[in-house]
Structure 1
Amino acid sequence: MKKIIIITILFGVFGLGCTKLDEEIYDKIPGDLYPEDAQQVALLGVDAYKQLQPLADDEGWWFLAQEISSDEFCGPTRDADWFDGGKWLNVHRHDWSNDDESVNRMWDKFFSGVTTSNQIIDLLNKLEQNESILNKKAEIAVMRSFYYYLILDNYGAAPYLTSAENAPAQPYKISREALYDSIVSTVERSLPRLQVADKKYLATRYMAFALLSKLYLNSNIYKYGGGSNWGDEALVKANAYCDSVLAGPYSLSATVSAPFITENQNSSEIIFSIPYDEDNFQGFRLHMRTLHYQMNLKYDMPVGPWNGLCVTPNFFDTYEESDLRREAYHIFGPQFASDGSQIIDGLTEEPLNIDPHLPALYMTAENFTQVQIRATGARVGKYEIKMGAKENLSNDFPLFRITDFYLMKAEIEIRLNGAGSGDQWINPIRERAGVSTWTGATLDDLLSERGRELYCEGHRRQDLIRYGKFTEPWWEKTVTGDPSVTLFPIPKWATDANPNLLLDPQ
C-alpha cells in the first residue's frame, strides 16, 4: 500500500527499519507518545504532510481555484447540474466574495498546515536538541514555509506565526513583502539540514530549491508590486536555485503521459508530490468531476462520474493537432465502453461524442440542447484513469515537476537575455510533444507553452498574474483591469473571529 511506503520513507529519515506498519497507520500522533525514541520523532512529522491531502479537491480548493480562475479550465453549469450556488462560475468570472467556499476553504486548509507544522516544531523544541531533531525541525519549517507560500500567493498579507503554543489569540497581519522575506529566510536557513535525496513525499533540499526558485521568480509580484521589476538579483537567484533543481536526480520522461500514470510515485520528473491512494490517502477525484455520467463504462468504474469540469474551448485550440498532449491530456470525440461498444447517453439516447468546444459557461435547457449541455467541453485525461478506478485516484499529484523548471529556466533566460535565449530549455519539451522546435521564443510564446505543458497542475493562475495577464478578458470572463482579483479576500468568518485581520499590516 502506498501509504505504508510513505511512512517507510519517513522512517528512513533516521535510517531506521520499521515493522508491522500494516497493523497500525497513524494519521495523527497523540502527544503523550513523545518523547520516547527517534522512530516516534519521525512519525511526528507525518501530520505536516497530511495537511496537503485536501488541496486537490473541493475540501481544500487550492488546485481548483488555480485552474478554474484561469483561461484554461472551468466548471460550467449544465442545466440542473453544477450550479451549486454559483461557486464554480464565480471563480472563473473572478466574481468571488469573502464568503465563497473557495475563499473559505483555502484559507482554512493553508493555515491548518501552518498550525500543524508549528505544533510539531513546538514539540521538537522540548526534546534534546541532537542532530536528528535539528534536521527534523528544519524539514518541518520548510513544510510550514510551503503552506505560507500558498498563503502568500493566494492572499498576500497575513499573520506570520512560528509557534502554536505562543501564538496570540488574535494575531496581526504582516505585509506581503515581509511575509515573502520571512519565508525566503526560513527556507534558505534550513537548506544545510535538509536531506539531499530523491524522496518525493518529503521536504528535501531539492524541494526547497524548487520552492525558492518559485519564490524568487514571482518576487516581482510578492515583493515589488508587479510590472517588470524583480528587484536586485532576484532573477539571478531564481536562476541559481533553478540550476540546483536541474542538477538533481530528475529527468524528462520518454513520453508526455509517463509522469501521470496511476503508479507514478517513481517518476523521474516528480520532485515533490501529494501521495494519493484510492484507499489509504484519498482526496484526488478529478476523474469524478470531469467525466461524463456514463463514462464509468469506459473504465469499468464501480461509481458514476459527475459530468462537470472541462477545458475552455479557446485553450483547447492552443494545441496543434500534431501535439501529442492534445489527446494525452484531454478526452474528446466518440466514447466507447470497455467492451468496444459505443457509450449511449442515458438521457439523450445519442451516442456519446464529446465536442471539445463548450458553447457557454452557463447552459440551461431553455437555450441549449441536452447534447450541448451534457456532452461538450474536452474532459481532463492528463492523469491516468485505470480500469476499475474507484471514486479516488491513486495517482500522486505533482506539486513540483522538473518540466516546470525547464520552462522556468527558459523564462529566466529570456527575461535576463532576451528572446531566443531560452530555446534550449523549451525545445526538449516540444520535441517530446511531437511539435516543431522554436527559434527566438518570446515570453508570450513561453507562457503559451507553459499552459499546454503544465495544464491542470495548479500553475496557471500564478503564471497569468506574473505575466500581467490575469486581469485581461478571456472566454466567458469579461471583468478586466481590477488588480484586486489577483488576491483572494480573507474569509469573513476569519475576520469576524479576528478583527485585527482587517487592519493594515503591522
Structure 2
Amino acid sequence: MKKINILISTIIVIATFSCTKLDEKYFDQIPADQYPENADQVATLSVNAYKKLQNMADDGGWWFLAQEISTDELAGPTRGADWYDGGKWVDVYTHSWTNDTESVNRMWSLFFDGINECNRTIQTLRAIGDNEQILAKIAELETLRSFFYYLLMDNYGDVPYVTQILDEGALPSKVARADVYDSIVSNVESNLKFLNTSDLKYMATRNMAFALLAKLYINAEVYTGTPQWEKAGQYCDSVIAGPYSLSGDVSAPFVTNNENNSEIIFSIPYDEDNFQGFRLHMRTLHYQSNLTYDMSVGPWNGFAVVPDHFDTYEDTDSRKEAYFMYGPQYASTGEEIIESVTGEPLVIDPYLPALSMTDGFTPEQIRTTGARIIKYEIKMGAKENLSNDFPLFRLSDFYLMKAETEIRLGRNGDEWVNPIRSRAGVDPYSGCTLDQLLEERGREMFVEGHRRQDLIRFNKWQNSWWEKAAHGPERNTFPIPQWAIDGNPNLGN
C-alpha cells in the first residue's frame, strides 16, 4: 500500500495539483461523467496509464519473460511432466514461436493497453485547457506513451503509430520501423523541457526520458540502419550526470522495498499485496525452497540459468553468489532439506543437462538441476508476489552503454566498464572489447529484461547456443498476433 500511495501522491505533487494521499480505488476506470471536474482529478486519473506497467514482469504481459527466456542466459526447461505447458517455454527459448504463441499475443496487448490508456488521458487533458500544469502532464504522458512504443517497435518492428483515440471501426496500417523510431525520438526530445527534473522512480521524468533516448539511439542501427553512437553516448552522459550513484553492494538495487535505491532511474513499484505481478521466485525456486525462506506457498521449480551463462562468472565475482542458488540446500532452521521424491539431501546442480528433460532422465536431473535465480531478494516469509521494485532503467546499464559507445567509436571504454567490475570484485579490463562488454552486460544486467535486445544489437541473436539452433533475421522480431490481423487486415500487409 505504501508504494501505491507514493506513486499516486508523487504524480499529483509533480503536476503541482495536490499532495493529497489517495488509495488504490483510483486504479479503477472512472466513469466519464465524473471527469474532468478539475485538474487534480485528471492528475489522479493518469495513474491508470502507469498501472499498465504492472503486467510487464510476468505472464500477464510477457515482456520480461520474452526478453530473457529467449536468450543465452535463462531457460524454462521441461521437467518431466512439469513445465511443458503446451510448449510455450521451449518455443520461446528455441525461437520457434508463431503468431499464435502466448508470448506474442500478450506482449502486443500489453503495449497497446499502455498506449491506448496514455492516449485517452492525453485527450482528456487537452479538453481541459493548455495551462503550464496541463502541458507538463501531457508531456509526461506522451513520454510514457513513447516508452510503450519503444517496447512495441523493439519487439515487433513495423507497427501502427497512433497518438489519438481512433473512431470506431478505424483500421490503422503499419508504419515502417524507422519512421516509428523517428516519431518516438522526436516526441521525447520535444517534451524534455516540460518534464520534471526530480529523481522520482515511478514517473516519466526528464531523467527517465534521457535514459529512454539513450536506449533509442544506441539501438538506432537496428531500428533504422544508421548508427547513432555519439548521440547515444551523449544521452548516457546526461543520465550519469543525474541524481544517481552506483550502489556499493551488487545486491542493493534488488532488495525488498528497494524504492529508495540510488541506482534506480525508472521502475515498476511491485507490492506483494497491493501491486502484484512479480513472481520470478515462484517460477525458479525448487518446490521445497519454501523451507529456506519460510514461505507460505510452494514454488514451482521451473526457470534455471543456461549452463554457459553460469560459467561466465568467475568464482571471485560477488554476483555469482548474489544472483544464483546452487549447491546443498538448507531450511531456515539450518537443517538439511530432504528432497521429497529422491529421499536424498537436496543439492542443486548448477548445470542443466537438457532443455527437455522427459524420458531417460533421472528424478534428480529433472527436479534438482540448473542454478536458480535469487538476484531479486526473497525475504523471509515471502508470499507468491514480491515487494521488490523492478528496475526498467538502472544506472549500471548506462555505464556499460557509455563504454559500448566509446568502443564502437574507436575509443577506450574501460573508464565506464571497470567500476562495474570493481564492485563485483573482479579484475579490471585493459582495452575492453565488444565481446567482453557483451559478456559483462550479461553478467551485470542478468534478468533485467535487456538480453534479447543486446544480442540483436551485437549481432549474436541469430547464432546457435546451448539447446538453440542458428537461424536467419526473420526471428529478430516477433510476428503480429493472428487475432490482431484477423481484426485488422492492414496489419498483415
TM-score (norm 1): 0.95
1:292 match: 286
1:463 match: 454
Q: CA deviation at 1:237?
A: 1.1
Residue 259 (structure 2) aligned to one of 251, 258, 265: 265
Residue 415 (structure 1) aligned to one of 396, 408, 413: 408
Tell me if structure 1 keeps the 8 A contact 2:188–2:213: yes
Q: CA deviation at 1:25?
A: 4.5
Q: How many residues align?
A: 492
1:153 match: 154
Q: Tell me the distance in 2 between the aligned counterparts of 1:353 and 1:25.
A: 47
Answering whether residue 388 of structure 2 is matched by residue 395 of structure 1, we say yes
2:361 match: 368
CA deviations on 1:158-209 (whole Å, 9 max, x unpaired) are 0000001458621100101111111111111111110001010000000000
Specify the SS of the correspondent of 1:347. Answer: coil
Amino acid at match of 2:491: L
Q: CA deviation at 1:35?
A: 1.8
Amino acid at match of 2:257: E
Q: Tell me the distance in 2 between the aligned counterparts of 1:16 and 1:485.
A: 46
Specify the SS of the correspondent of 2:397. Answer: helix
2:277 match: 283
Q: Tell me the distance in 2 between the aligned counterparts of 1:444 and 1:239.
A: 19
Tell me if structure 2 keeps the 8 A contact 1:119–1:165: no
1:84 match: 85
Q: Tell me the distance in 2 between the aligned counterparts of 1:23 and 1:494.
A: 32
Call closer, same or farther: CA 1:222–1:375 in 2, change over 3 Å.
same
Q: CA deviation at 1:30?
A: 2.9
Amino acid at match of 2:387: S
Q: CA deviation at 1:127?
A: 0.5
Q: Tell me the distance in 2 between the aligned counterparts of 1:252 and 1:27.
A: 37
Residue 428 (structure 1) aligned to one of 404, 416, 419: 419
1:476 match: 467
Q: Tell me the distance in 1 between the aligned counterparts of 2:202 and 2:256.
A: 16
* Structure 1 residues 300-319: aligned runs within 5 Å: 300-319=294-313
CA deviations on 1:33-78 (whole Å, 9 max, x unpaired) are 2222232121121011111100100110000000011100010000
Tell me if structure 1 keeps the 8 A contact 2:26–2:47: no
Amino acid at match of 1:391: E
Tell me if structure 1 keeps the 8 A contact 2:304–2:371: yes
Specify the SS of the correspondent of 2:427. Answer: coil
Q: Tell me the distance in 1 between the aligned counterparts of 2:196 and 2:350.
A: 45
* Structure 1 residues 103-182: aligned runs within 5 Å: 103-166=104-167, 169-182=170-183
Q: Tell me the distance in 2 between the aligned counterparts of 1:416 and 1:168.
A: 48
Specify the SS of the correspondent of 2:243. Answer: coil
- Which consecutive unaligned segments of at least 5 residues does structure 1 have? none
Answering whether residue 14 of structure 2 is matched by residue 35 of structure 1, we say no
1:486 match: 476
1:190 match: 191
Amino acid at match of 1:367: G
Amino acid at match of 1:485: R
Tell me if structure 1 keeps the 8 A contact 2:210–2:236: yes
Q: Tell me the distance in 1 between the aligned counterparts of 2:418 and 2:223.
A: 30
Q: CA deviation at 1:14?
A: 3.0
CA deviations on 1:226-247 (whole Å, 9 max, x unpaired) are xxx51xxx21111111111011
Tell me if structure 2 keeps the 8 A contact 1:161–1:167: no
1:94 match: 95
Call closer, same or farther: CA 1:49–1:24 in 2, change over 3 Å.
closer
CA RMSD of aligned residues (A): 1.2
Q: Tell me the distance in 2 between the aligned counterparts of 1:23 and 1:216.
A: 36
Identity %: 62
Q: CA deviation at 1:17?
A: 4.6
Q: Tell me the distance in 2 between the aligned counterparts of 1:499 and 1:112.
A: 20
Q: Tell me the distance in 1 between the aligned counterparts of 2:35 and 2:196.
A: 23
Specify the SS of the correspondent of 2:297. Answer: coil
Q: Tell me the distance in 1 between the aligned counterparts of 2:283 and 2:305.
A: 12
Amino acid at match of 1:292: H
2:246 match: 252
